[in-house]
Structure 1
Amino acid sequence: MEQIFDFDAVRRHRDRAAPRIAHLAPVLSDLAERVLDRLDDTSRRFTTALDFGGRGAIAPALRQRGMSVDSADISALMAARAGGTPLLIESEDFRLEPQRYDLVVAHLSLHWFTDLPGALIQLRRALKPEGLLLASLPALGTLQDLRTALLEAEESLTGGVSPRVSPFPELSDCAGLLQRAGFSLPVADVEEIELLYANPLALLHDLRDAGETNALRARRKTFVPAALFPAALGQMPQRDGRIIARLRMAVLTGWAS
């Protein structure tokens, strides 16, 4: 399979983000609660959980619900800050212990893996029979205005374009991905979230501080014109003088057999 993402770059981005992630805690916690609310829809009691890439927003909430939690991340620094027992993921082969957990929560962390179906299969294998996967990831439409603005500004300034925002899956494909990975009762729905920024550059800073900067293998690795990002951000939609960044967060649930 052709590698879309630079795994080492994703790790470096998350390492650099780890010391700065605390200032994003209110946003990350709000997004996490939107996902964890799905736990209230089941009467199943969970005791052993895996927080996969939760950046400090998942493990504490699961521990408050009485669970023992391991926190896995491809960044050792991020895993150490996540709130559970740290577990380092060193490659796209996760090497998770089979049938260890009755709950796996992968919150906004799977979209940097080239083999998304393979990642879901590995998480299913880490679940005990009748265990639950609860996952979230950006769906198509996320940061679409930023993607378009960057492409148009770069073409205008340089005469060419390079990818700067990751590809995201269609919401309609997400339940199918769970089914392909062997989950039963797969469900995918979406949370539509708007974030408003009075300072347009703060959007880029938040993406950096969340470890979400460009890690596409096809990205341009040379310096870009200084005018690129101001020009692109100036084209973003606004409301009451603030730019709008849209997140379409797909929330996936599936049960291990």
Structure 2
Amino acid sequence: MIERRPLGALLAHFILIVGIVIVAFPIYYTFVASTLTTQQIMAPPMPLVPGGHFIENYGGAFAGVATIGGVGVDRLLLNTLVVALAIACGKIVISILSAFAIVFFSFPGRMFFFWMIFITLMLPVEVRILPTYQVIVDLGLIDTYTGLTLPLMASATATFLFRQFFLTIPDELVEAARIDGAGPMRFFRDILLPLSYTNIAALFVILFIYGWTQYLWPLLITNDNNMNTIIIGLRKMISFVDADTQWNLIMAITILAMLPPIAVVVFMQRWFVKGLVETEK
């Protein structure tokens, strides 16, 4: 029996609404700014209702980024999409294969290698930035998609999560697959991979956003404006003098930059939640 508490429900909904307003207001404010002129944005107080320059600003956003070495926002979005997809897919492929080898293969030093992978959680890109950058330079990967994505593909967190899930696979299922004549890769493809779909979906959402919002590594590894990501492009559009900054175009491009990760979260929300909360497959 569920006890109904109107006051508690009302308080919970009030807190939820306040939380939504706090999170959503900066995004709404950015959208409003993207429909105004720069003069309206710079003249306080800025209006809280959308202006009449929506088509002008969003249409000009694609041409306005020409101030960044002649590179359009479509190219910047394409670069960011390639980087985000490559990082997310690369991390998942490497992590799931690593976890598969650690859990289902017996070889000397298996746990040692696992803990070596796990310890790398304490060594983020910022800590190993100099040696990683030197390796990329020596390999001639500056201003390439490979240089942008390859150093960010390894993921100890994803490997650990896949390992923990694989440990829940019953031994009877492994024995049944072996009796049926399934080799390691067939067992992985026909049994483990379908069981891991929700985990993969949840990790893909997290890793896609991680790749989309990268700033430090793309800033270091790109010299050519054609290889910039949308985050770097936005930063280059901001001048030290407010009067020289086209804030209306920057706000419009900011909204455009937020749409792909939002779309990924919205369309994969059901799989994302299942991958986080389901413990039994």
TM-score strictly above 0.5: no
TM-score normalised by the chain length of structure 1: 0.22
Higher relative contact order (CA 8 A, sep 6+): 2
Q: Which has the larger radius of gyration?
A: 2
Pick the structure with more strand per residue.
1
TM-score normalised by the chain length of structure 2: 0.21
